[in-house]
Chain A
Amino acid sequence: MEITLNWYLALGVVLFTLGVLGVLFRRNAIVILMSVELMLNAVNLTLVALSQAMGDVSGQVLVFFVISVAAAEAAVGLAIVIALFRKKVTVDVGAFNLFKY
């Protein structure tokens, strides 16, 4: 069978969903950051697939923006994790609940 656009979109959905589930349910801060990256990459994949399918290169241009933002955001996120680790020698997000009632 032929690999049509829908396959790529489906892949994007699956990857995105996995990323969301990871953000919501994993307790390790690093894993959560990885899941965020996964979500961003899923979006990139979707953008490129649609760009190819519609013949408009704007999608691929947007991908460049997303990649750079993702990189910056990963740097900042890791810096935050390091700061938290310095406070509480753990990366378990369940341990950071100062906002608890």
Chain B
Amino acid sequence: MNHTTLVGLILLLPLAGAVFNGLGGLAFRGLRQQKGLIGIVATLAVAVPFGLTLYLFFNYEGEPLLARFFTWIAAGELELSFQYRIDELSLVMTLIVTGVGALIHLYSIGYMHEDRGYWKYFSYLNLFIFMMLNLVLADNLVLLFLGWEGVGLCSYLLIGFWYEDFKNSEAANKAFIVNRVGDAAFLLAMFLLFREVGSLDFGALLADPASLPSGVVAVAVLLLFIGATGKSAQIPLFVWLPDAMAGPTPVSALIHAATMVTSGLYLFARISPLALAAPDVLMVIALVGALTAFMAATIAITQYDIKKALAYSTVSQLGYMFMAAGVGAFFVSIFHVMTHAFFKACLFLGSGSVIHAMHHVEHKLQERGHHGHLDPQDMRNMGGLGRFMPATRTTYLIATLAIAGFPLTAGFFSKDEILFKAFEYGYNGYAYAWIAWILGVVTALLTAFYMMRSYVLTFEGTPRWPMADQVHPHESPATMTLPLWVLAVLSLVGGFVGLPGVIAHGEWNLIHHYLGASGGGPVAEPELPAHVPLAIEWALIGLGVAVALTGLYWSWSAYRRHGLAYDEVLRQRFGVLYRVWAAKYYWDEFYDRIVVQPLLRFARYGLAVFDQKVIDGAVNGMARLMVGIGQRVRRVQTGVVQAYAMAIVLGVALVLALMLFG
């Protein structure tokens, strides 16, 4: 089977799954009850592409493969096709998308089992995979953008999945609208690049960045970054991600942790040759990333909703990835994308398992007459779940250690690599990288702290829900715990593909050699003449370990001993700061005041009035004019035949006159 057929299958199988479950469910009501069939079709629609991608991966020979299907747009100078590119970068991303995607589909079979919209859910999820694959396999910027918009659409559909609760629809709207702002910037970048280069194929765009005027490249890369801040939730367009937790938890795991939000990072890895030609923009990227990472981590400390804590954690980790991009270490950002996909998906799915269990607790409490709403996502209602849910607890703990950077876990390797690259960049004279590095180290401490806090408050200590001695939760079914175990194992061993430079002079940094330009890969790298001495490198690793262990131990002991009360200690110690963090730095209130309310006022009192008075006035006025004319013209019809005869006579006279004298 040649690669074009394989690429076609990889792309079309998820689409076929979406169509089967979506249109089938719409047309045949009976199909909607066949939950087994729906689940299997949907999961296979992602698992089979994963297998096919593995085949491509193992048979890849180092030369990019192009798979062209048909011409999309041919207008004047612009020629775009549905053409896809298989190279190291797209293979890694496709493996992540289909692999983690398949696990989450499997998990969803158990998680969504009681939902009325089961068929719709899997249709949307398959559609998402299709769109995401378009994004990562595209060979031109416009096809990438098609996938970009498509995943935004699926995100909207899935966040607002339980749309009967209006709050969920509002969250979906917020996600889509905020992303749109970024997309506008993306479009402008495409226009600019097309005007300068004449083509939007990656082959043409990335061939010779040095030949393009540096001003244009800088503006284009900056605009693409603004687009990325929307999709990948950085300052200033991150505000939609915490609200997106309104969607089902597997959606949060897949879309808002492992895949869609990493699109911005993939974009930058893909255009890395161009990005390296815009060093000032790289500075902006690194600083924005670092600031976002720090800010989100401080907010995460104060959150009680387990999903919101994980959401801010995701924003923070994405900030790390942009920090890496901002110091030219694009392959490291992809490395962190991969490890983050493993441990963040594990954490989210684990939280889903917990939420599932707490729902059952809520039901059992209601059966026993206990009325009053129990928020299944609020950690203040949890505690001691480890006893009842051992698999969930163990996998969540492993993933927590991974995200904190506990030695030898996946997160340890990728995060330390990011911090090292920032340090190295600063060492080579780029002073801004030091600032990013410092923020990164502090954030690492915070990350370890708040993640362990979420673990302890959920799984350790004494249960805090009512009637805890009689009402117990239970572990989730195998369809849910199996993906948890797979992801936990990956969180442990997934980092070994990127052993740092201190080991054998970086020869065993497999991911570096695979993706990086120095090893023949597509991801560009900067020239860094100054090498950080080995001793300092070891010291940095030591610092990373120390920070991770400090954060983990501090949180573990504090929350084990005091439980929820330790939050009070934090409140006292940080005072005003804690209030700001808990209020999410008032970003939503700020946007509401500066953007949303003025727009709504403008719409309500400006545009609506214009629409009613001017537009409707013109249309209605036109109608009234026609009626008025009609009223007057109809008076010709007097009904008196002689008047008509008169008209005929006059007409004849006129014609005769014209004939005789004209």
What 1/0 mask marks residues of chain B from 627 to 639 whose CB sits below 8 Å from any chain A CB?
0000000110111
Q: Are B639 and A24 in contact (CB under 8 A)?
A: no
Q: Which residue of chain B has the shortest Cβ distance to A97 in the bound complex? A: B639
Q: Are A96 and B641 in contact (CB under 8 A)?
A: yes
What is the minimal beta-carbon distance from A12 to any residue of chain B, in angstroms?
16
Main SS at interface, chain B: helix
| Residue A23 CB within 8 A of the other chain | yes
| Residue B642 CB within 8 A of the other chain | yes
| A contact residues around B640 at 8 Å (CB) | 93-94, 97, 100
B: contact size bracket: 10 to 19
Q: Are B637 and A99 in contact (CB under 8 A)?
A: yes
Interface residues of B in 627-662 (CB under 8 A from A): 634-635, 637-642, 645-646, 649
| A contact residues around B639 at 8 Å (CB) | 96-101
| Residue A74 CB within 8 A of the other chain | no
Give the CA-CA distance A20 to B639 in the complex, in Å: 19
| Residue A65 CB within 8 A of the other chain | no
What is the minimal beta-carbon distance from B411 to any residue of chain A, in angstroms?
86
Q: Are A20 and B649 in contact (CB under 8 A)?
A: yes
Q: Are A100 and B637 in contact (CB under 8 A)?
A: yes
Q: Are A101 and B637 in contact (CB under 8 A)?
A: yes
Tell me whether A93 and B641 are in contact in the complex, defined as CB-CB below 8 angstroms, given that A20-B649, A24-B646 are known contacts. Answer: yes
Give the CA-CA distance A101 to B635 in the complex, in Å: 6
What is the minimal beta-carbon distance from A90 to any residue of chain B, in angstroms?
14
Q: Are B634 and A101 in contact (CB under 8 A)?
A: yes
Interface residues of A in 53-101 (CB under 8 A from B): 93-94, 96-101
| B contact residues around A94 at 8 Å (CB) | 640
- Cross-chain contact of B642 among A24, A98, A100 (Cβ < 8 A): A24
Q: Are A100 and B638 in contact (CB under 8 A)?
A: yes
Tell me whether A93 and B642 are in contact in the complex, defined as CB-CB below 8 angstroms, given that A20-B649, A24-B649 are known contacts. Answer: yes
Q: Which residue of chain A has the shortest Cβ distance to B638 in the bound complex? A: A100
Give the CA-CA distance A99 to B635 in the complex, in Å: 11
What is the minimal beta-carbon distance from A80 to any residue of chain B, in angstroms?
11
Give the CA-CA distance A98 to B642 in the complex, in Å: 14
Give the CA-CA distance A24 to B641 in the complex, in Å: 9
What is the minimal beta-carbon distance from B384 to any residue of chain A, in angstroms?
89
Give the CA-CA distance A25 to B646 in the complex, in Å: 9
Q: Which residue of chain A has the shortest Cβ distance to B652 in the bound complex? A: A20
| B contact residues around A24 at 8 Å (CB) | 642, 645-646, 649
Q: Which residue of chain B has the shortest Cβ distance to A20 in the bound complex? A: B649
Tell me whether A97 and B642 are in contact in the complex, defined as CB-CB below 8 angstroms, given that A20-B649, A24-B649 are known contacts. Answer: no
| A contact residues around B638 at 8 Å (CB) | 97, 99-101
Give the CA-CA distance A94 to B642 in the complex, in Å: 9
| A contact residues around B646 at 8 Å (CB) | 24
Give the CA-CA distance A53 to B512 in the complex, in Å: 118
What is the minimal beta-carbon distance from A100 to any residue of chain B, in angstroms?
3
What is the minimal beta-carbon distance from A16 to any residue of chain B, in angstroms?
11
Quick one: which of A96, A97, A98 has the most chain B CB within 10 A?
A97
| B contact residues around A23 at 8 Å (CB) | 642, 645
Quick one: which of B637, B639, B646 has the most chain A CB within 10 A?
B639
Give the CA-CA distance A23 to B643 in the complex, in Å: 10
What is the minimal beta-carbon distance from B557 to any residue of chain A, in angstroms?
96
What is the minimal beta-carbon distance from A29 to any residue of chain B, in angstroms?
10
Give the CA-CA distance A18 to B49 in the complex, in Å: 98
Give the CA-CA distance A96 to B640 in the complex, in Å: 7
Q: Which residue of chain B has the shortest Cβ distance to A23 in the bound complex? A: B645
What 1/0 mask marks residues of chain B from 298 to 330 whose CB sits below 8 Å from any chain A CB?
000000000000000000000000000000000
| B contact residues around A97 at 8 Å (CB) | 638-640
Give the CA-CA distance A31 to B532 in the complex, in Å: 123
Give the CA-CA distance A101 to B633 in the complex, in Å: 10
Give the CA-CA distance A17 to B233 in the complex, in Å: 93
Interface residues of B in 288-305 (CB under 8 A from A): none
| A contact residues around B645 at 8 Å (CB) | 23-24
What is the minimal beta-carbon distance from B573 to any residue of chain A, in angstroms?
89
| B contact residues around A99 at 8 Å (CB) | 637-639
- Cross-chain contact of A25 among B634, B637, B641, B642 (Cβ < 8 A): B642
Q: Which residue of chain B has the shortest Cβ distance to A94 in the bound complex? A: B640
What is the minimal beta-carbon distance from A13 to any residue of chain B, in angstroms?
13
Could you pull out 8 A-B pairs where Cβ atoms are within 8 angstroms? A24-B646, A24-B649, A25-B642, A32-B642, A98-B639, A99-B638, A99-B639, A101-B638
List B residues at the A interface (Cβ < 8 Å). Answer: 634-635, 637-642, 645-646, 649
List A residues at the B interface (Cβ < 8 Å). Answer: 20, 23-25, 32, 93-94, 96-101
6 closest Cβ contacts across the A-B interface? A97-B639, A100-B639, A101-B634, A99-B639, A101-B637, A24-B646
Task: For the A-B complex with A25-B642, A101-B635 known, give 17 more contacts whose Cβ atoms are closer than 8 Å.
Answer: A20-B649, A23-B645, A24-B649, A93-B640, A93-B641, A94-B640, A96-B639, A96-B641, A97-B639, A99-B637, A99-B638, A99-B639, A100-B637, A100-B639, A101-B634, A101-B638, A101-B639
